[in-house]
Amino acid sequence: MTIEEIIGFVSGLDGVLALTPAPGDEWPELSWGDAFFYYSPDGVVPTNVQPFATIVTKNYPGDEASRLDRPGTFRVNIHAGKEAFVRELGRTPREAAETDIDPGVADTVIAHPVYGTAGWLAVLNPAAETETVTRELLETAYRRARARYEKRG
């Protein structure tokens, strides 16, 4: 999957706002080239709400383990929740740090190297092994975000 394919897939879900900061935007330079997905049927970036998924194309401070500084490397981050986390990894988010999987390996579902304990999963450069599950996890995260939005209603 390419970044553009992922953005197109998630943007096609009803009520999704895909924020893709670029030079000249109001967003910090560090975020340029990345993508942030919110459930926001009014098309406005919600305040005090985290995105339900992101795509990052570079290392962020404190988040260098995936080695996103390698050419062509990006990571899809998905707030899939505890049930999906356990289903995919066979352990709870609380146990996320207990792994021997290299966070820099591509096409593998892993606990997010920083936010795994909060139920976030990640995939570097999703391809043949993870394309289907990445789409499923993105849909799960979307449904969860939509349900939270509707509950706040």
Note the pLDDT of residue 106: 95
Question: Which residue has 């401070």 as its token pair?
Answer: 61
The CATH number for 144's domain is: 3.90.1150.30
Round to whole Å and give the CA distance between 83 and 147.
15
From first to last of its 153 residues, what are the pLDDT tens digits of the chain?
A: 999 999 999 999 999 999 999 999 999 999 999 999 999 999 999 989 999 999 999 999 999 999 999 999 999 999 999 999 999 999 999 987 677 688 999 999 999 999 999 999 999 999 999 999 999 999 999 999 999 999 987
Per-residue burial over 73-112, b = 16 or more CB atoms within 10 Å of its CB, e = otherwise:
bbbbbbbbbeebbeebbeeebeebeeeeeebbebebbbbb
Radius of gyration over alpha carbons of the chain, in Å?
Answer: 15
Alpha carbon of residue 118 to chain centroid: 13
Round to whole Å and give the CA distance between 16 and 92.
28
* Total domain count, the chain: 1
Contact 123, 74 (CB under 8 A): no
Note the pLDDT of residue 97: 67
Note the pLDDT of residue 101: 81
Note the pLDDT of residue 62: 92
Range of the domain at 31: 3-152
- Please state, as a whole number, how many other Cβ atoms lie within 10 Å of the Cβ of residue 47: 5
Note the pLDDT of residue 50: 95
Note the pLDDT of residue 17: 98
